[in-house]
Amino acid sequence: MNSYAQSEFSKKFKPIAPLNPTVAPKKVTPAATTDAPVIKAPDLFKKPEETLPSFSKYQIGQAKSFSMEQTNDYVNPGDRIMEKMTKDLDKTLVREGLKEDDRFLVKIDKNFGEIRTKSKYFTVFYRDYIYIDGDLIKATINGQMIGGIMELYSSYGQFVFNLKEGFNTFEMEAYSKGTSGGNTCEFKIYDDKGVLVRSELWDNWDKGVKGKFVIVKE
């Protein structure tokens, strides 16, 4: 069979040699080794006036021994202002009679004076007129307890006692201190006809302090 083919690639054509792709590497001289710089991070748990000692190249803060003792390392500047405002408010409340204060406890018995009457008995209404904090009172007539130990509330409680001819000694005692300060009590005394005979109060009494009346039944 006969065949035909192109004849361009005869012996008279010489192939072009490929370029040499190899690139000679450049000689790089490594730099001299140096120590890494010292890094000191600030310690947020230290007081401002303290500086970080250099114990190592890389450190955060300084080791501190454990202690149960309370310190003021984390004082909030606003706490000082709040503390002063609280003290000023407390003083105002105490001065206006709206709060009790142990610093001004009354520790001396008080004599409320003499009452003259023809009444057969007296009725006493009593209450805590400031803050309900568990104040207790005890009342006696001629040394005999009346009605047991009585707790003071915002509403009036009451008790009744009879009078003998002549002199009667009536006492009311601050039997306890409340949780917010001294004992505070307001009381009103009425005769057997419902007439108000005496209205009194005590403020910030210590436990055991007594108020005394001499009642003369004519």
CA distance 53 to 44: 15
DSSP 85: H
pLDDT tier at 180, thresholds 50, 70, 90: confident
Provide the edge-to-edge strand list for the sheet that holds 183-190. 157-162, 121-127, 183-190, 196-205
3-state secondary structure of 203: strand
Which pLDDT belongs to residue 183?
Answer: 95
For residues 175-186, give the mean pLDDT: 91
* pLDDT above 80 (res 12): no
Residue scoring higher pLDDT (15 or 123): 123
35-71 pLDDT tens trace: 666 666 666 666 666 555 555 555 555 555 555 655 5
Phi, psi of 188 (to 5 degrees): -130, 135
CA 170 → CA 62, 73, 130, 142, distances in Å? 71, 58, 24, 6
Which pLDDT tens digit goes with each residue over 124-164?
999 999 989 999 999 999 999 999 999 999 999 999 999 99
The Cα 50–Cα 70 span in angstroms is 19
SS3 82: helix
Spatial contact of 175 and 202, defined as CB atoms under 8 Å apart = no
pLDDT value at residue 197? 97
Helix and strand counts by DSSP (H, E) for the chain:
1, 11
- How confident is the model over 74-124, as pLDDT tens digits? 556 566 666 656 656 665 655 555 555 566 899 999 999 999 999 999 999
State the Cα–Cα distance between residues 135 and 127, nearest whole angstrom: 9
Report the CATH fold assignment for 106-217.
Immunoglobulin-like (2.60.40)
Are 124 and 187 within 8 A, CB to CB? yes
